[in-house]
Structures are given as structure tokens and as C-alpha cells.
A and B are shown apart, each in its own frame.
Chain A
Amino acid sequence: QVQLQESGPGLVKPSETLSLTCTVSGGSMNNYYWSWIRQPPGEGLEWIGYIYSSGSTDYNPSLKSRVTISIDMSKNQFSLNLSSVTAADTAVYYCARRGTYKFDYWGQGTLVTVSS
């Protein structure tokens, strides 16, 4: 059973960089797309971007200028960096596996608050 677990700071200051890591266990990272999705409190879901196991990436244009997703296959991890954060970036951040046209496995989510 594939499992994903997010980790990283729960509090980030405005204008700084939000950094999260997702650790994958119970399955191979090969030949899948590994995504980040966020959900502001009480709101809907926003796809941030993904990285393929080969290292190719695709980002949501609304965040593209501030987002970097990277992968470390040797550690079974992929990471999200979101720069120049504001209060609008406060959200629960999920990592997820994109199987064939679907997000089939999700982490439990981690709340990141942007505040000084």
C-alpha cells in the first residue's frame, strides 16, 4: 500500500520561502507524477504542480513564477518550494500521486500558516 507523508515547518514568515517534503513508502516512485495540492481553510482544492519520476515538471500558471518542485528518488522523496509567500498562501498542503488521470494516493496534509 502506497503511503505519502508531508513534513516541514508549520509557520512561515511573509516574504520567505515555504519548503515541504513528501516521503513516499510502500511503492516505487518510477513512472508516476508526484503532485502538490493545497486547500486554504474552509475553501476548495488547488493543484500546485507535479514532477514526473524523470524530473520533468508542470506547474499551475497562477503560481509558476514562485514554485519549484524537485525529486530525490534515492530518498523516495519529492519537495515543494514556494517563494515570497503571503497570508494568501496559508493552507493545508497535500502531496499526492497522480496515477493514470487520477490522484489516487494522498498524504494526510500539513497546515502551513504564513504569519509574522
Chain B
Amino acid sequence: DIQMTQSPSSLSASVGERITITCRASQSIAGYLNWYQQKVGKAPKLLIHVASSLQSGVPSRFSGSGSGTDFTLTISSLQPEDFATYFCQQSYGSPYTFGQGTKLEIK
């Protein structure tokens, strides 16, 4: 299985700040990397697919980059509704695996 490792596991930040979350794959996954946002008690919501493509309806303050084994999710200016848990997920090969999550909290 391809292991996905996110860092940090948790992050405190303020409204308006720029933050970056990192995801590392245990082997090359080309650009087959997705990012999801999950709020408490809700299903995950797709933000970014194939590393850098913004899903329809997602604000442009979200962006993704990377290829191979190292990927990043950036939120350019945090809004109150962005405080949630973020997961990366590889779609390079079965079984499709997720990172352990990064919990973004208000400072």
C-alpha cells in the first residue's frame, strides 16, 4: 500500500494568515493527489484534485502543488469557515489511501 503522511498533524492559525499543509507519499504517485476538507460531523468535501486543480465552487484562496512524492495545500488568507480537518488522498493506485489528517484550529 502507498502510505500518505501529512504534516503537521495540527496547526493553530489566525484569520487572515497564510498556511501550508504538506503531504508526502511513500512512493511516487505522479500528480494523482487530492485534498479534502472535513468539518465536524460532516462528510469530506473535495477541494483540490490531481494536485493542483481547484474543484468547482471552491474559493480561489485554496491552492495545491507538487508531484512525485511531495505535495502542499496552501490557504492564502484564512477565513473563519476554513477551520476544519484536511486530508490528502492518493488516487495513483489501489488501495486508495488517505493521510492521517491535519486539524486546523483558531489561534
Contact = CB atoms under 8 A, between A and B. Distances in A.
Interface of A: 44-47, 58, 60-62, 94, 101-104, 106-109
A94 B68 CA distance: 29
A101 B95 contact: no
B44 A102 contact: no
B43 A101 contact: no
A18 B9 CA distance: 32
B65 interface: no
Nearest to A44: B100
B89 A108 contact: no
A45 B98 contact: yes
A94 to B, nearest CB: 6
A101 B32 contact: yes
Contacts of B42: 108-109
7 contacts: A58-B94, A60-B95, A94-B43, A103-B89, A104-B49, A106-B43, A106-B44
Given A62-B95, A109-B43, A102 B34 contact: yes
Contacts of A103: 34, 36, 44, 46, 89
Contact of B43 (A46, A60, A61, A107): A107
